[in-house]
Structure 1
Amino acid sequence: MKHLITAIALLLIQVSSSHAQETALRVKHFNLHDRVAIQGYDPVAYFKQNKAEKGSKDLAVFYQGATYYFSSAANKDEFKKNPALYEPQYGGWCAYAMGSKGEKVSINPSTFKITNGKLYLFYNKLFNNTLTDWNKEEAGLRSKADDNWTKISKQ
């Protein structure tokens, strides 16, 4: 019995350590400002309202190292059911830059696209809307971005 308890304790320590390492990698690589994701925009609103909506600190959820703000209690509750479903791709960095150069580039939260149930965010400043470029070669860029993000997020 003593050995069983020791084995279970060691397993719990290992799982806890693994979770802490994963969270540390997310914090290191995600586009966060003071640990707030998507510049405080509501991730669920992109899917449910098909628009970018600023969230509120009063409706916040902390998930694996990132804090998400919500514009309504309903959206907050929806996120809590399946957070991974609503998180932006590539840690919230510009999808076009991730695909074209493998770089982490800031985004404009109002410039987004949902494809196959996934949220992609884009840089859009000074006459440079990268969503336009993304749309010209989306399949190829998405494949490259997936590969680039896999490499970056494990460093």
Structure 2
Amino acid sequence: MHRFLIFIVTALLTTASPLAAESPVYTGLLSNTGAGGYDTVSYFEEGKPTKGSADYTTDYQGATWRFASAENLARFKDNPERYAPAYGGYCAWAVSQGYLAKGDPRHWSIKQGRLYLNYNQSVQDSWLKSPEEFIVQADANWPGVLE
């Protein structure tokens, strides 16, 4: 039985799932929470990421979004396009290169009034060298990279 479970887990981790590839929001393998559970409004209003609470949630684009306060939840509900991360929270640099990778809510920037997440600090450093160029490329690739 143990070997069978290892086989199943390995198969799931190494096989691309069409459903996961088509999800417009990055939520991770075992989650349905957008932006890793961080309050996306906090990036704009506080200038830093803040963990959201299960007490303040809403559904948007098939994912659950968490917020640190009722006020931030209301702001998001009033204008989710403003506060949701670009490219569904996938790594913005990866999307600019034509593929999908996880976005890490601890590696972020706000450009042109949008929140962009990156895979890690190294990728973010590359992104920050020419974000306007990468945004043009990513916009051209999105949402085609979901297919």
TM-score range normalised by the length of the shorter chain: 0.7 to 0.9
Matched residues in 2 for 1:64 and 1:30: separation?
A: 7
1:136 to 121, 129, 147: 129
1:14 is matched with none
**Which 10-residue stretch deviates more, 27-36 or 143-152?**
27-36
- Structure 1 length normalisation: TM-score? 0.75
> Quick one: percent identity of the two aligned structures?
37
For structure 1, list consecutive stretches of 5 or more residues without a partner in the other structure. Answer: 1-23
Aligned-residue Cα RMSD (Å) equals 2.0
Equivalent pairs, count: 127
- Structure 2 length normalisation: TM-score? 0.78
Alignment of 1:90-129 (within 5 A): 90-99=87-96, 101-124=97-120, 128-129=121-122
2:58 is equivalent to residue 61 of structure 1:
yes
Matched residues in 1 for 2:113 and 2:83: separation?
A: 9
2:141 is equivalent to residue 148 of structure 1:
yes
1:89 is matched with 86
Render the CA deviation track for 1:63-83: whole Å, top value 9, x for unaligned: 231110001111011111111
Q: Is the CA contact 2:100–2:145 (under 8 Å) kept in the aligned structure 1?
A: no
Structure 1 runs (4+) greater than 6 angstroms displaced: 24-27
2:36 is matched with 39
Please tell me whether Structure 1 or Structure 2 has the larger radius of gyration of its CA atoms.
Answer: 1
Render the CA deviation track for 1:111-131: whole Å, top value 9, x for unaligned: 11111110000111xxx5212
Matched residues in 2 for 1:111 and 1:146: separation?
A: 19
For structure 2, list consecutive stretches of 5 or more residues without a partner in the other structure. Answer: 1-18
